[in-house]
Amino acid sequence: MHIHRYERIWLVLGGLILVAFLIILGSYAFIVGKTPPSHMEMVDAQTVRTSPPFNKPGLYKVGPNEYEAVMLGFAFGYTPNKMTIPLGATVHFLVTSPDVVHGLYIPKTNINMMLIPGHVNRFTHTFNKPGEYLILCHEYCGIGHQAMFATITVNDNKTA
């Protein structure tokens, strides 16, 4: 098979650019210390309801205007299903599922997690706009999926 001179030049040039890009990307990731997540937090899905901290789900104040939301996503709902925080609060979500795969999605934020039984999800978000935020399950999880929701109310300190 005959390859024309210009085709060969473009193939070699494209290959060299690709190799250079991968070397630069890999070097940058190594220098900056960017690595894929190396640890996965696990909990026994059979005993999650009796294992700390999921044996006492709720919203806990851990610092000035900083909270930890320990949540379980299960068939037919979330626990806790109502939380109230002040405006500007930072919430550290700690979430898992004891039964099947669920989702946790809060519209108008960047919170979007898959709750896999036995896997612990962590996410931090600062709520800078007052109002009521709906927590929805966005993974079909069986009968009752449509009723699976919770709310976070962000109070504006000026109106309180």
Q: Are residues 27 and 76 in the same domain?
A: no
Is 21 an active-site residue? no
Structural domain includes residue 85: yes
Q: Which residue has the tokens 């519209």?
A: 107
How do residues 86-119 score in pLDDT, each as one tens digit? 999 999 999 999 999 999 999 999 999 999 999 9
- Assess contact for 113 and 125: CB atoms under 8 A: no
Residue 73 pLDDT grade (very low, low, confident, very high; cuts 50, 70, 90): very high
68 shares its domain with 144: yes
- What is the band of 159 on the pLDDT scale with cuts at 50, 70, 90? very low
Q: What is the structure's pLDDT at 160?
A: 40
Is there a catalytic annotation at residue 74? yes
The two three-digit tokens of residue 97, written as one number? 């599922």
- Catalytic residue (one of 76, 93, 127, 149): 76
Indicate if 32 and 62 belong to the same structural domain. Answer: no
The reported pLDDT for the residue numbered 119 is: 93
Q: Are 119 and 103 in contact (CB under 8 A)?
A: no
**What was the pLDDT predicted at 37?**
66
| Residue 53, pLDDT score | 95
Q: What is the pLDDT of residues 3-26, one digit of tens each?
A: 899 999 999 999 999 999 999 999
In this structure, the answer to whether residues 68 and 126 fall within a common structural domain is yes
The enclosing domain of 124 has a CATH number of 2.60.40.420
pTM: 0.75
Which pair of tokens denotes residue 34? 């960017």
Same domain as 84, residue 137: yes
Query: What is the structure's pLDDT at 143?
Result: 86
- Position 48 in a domain: no
Domain that residue 15 falls in: 1-36
Cα distance between residue 32 and residue 38, in whole Å: 16
Calculate the alpha carbon distances from 72 to 12, 42, 94, 126 in Å. 54, 14, 9, 20
How confident is the prediction for the chain on average, in pLDDT?
A: 92
Q: What tens digit of pLDDT does each residue of 115-139 get?
A: 999 999 999 999 999 999 999 999 9
Greater model confidence, 2 or 60: 60
Among residues 54, 74, 93, 127, which one is catalytic? 74
**What total number of domains does the chain contain?**
2
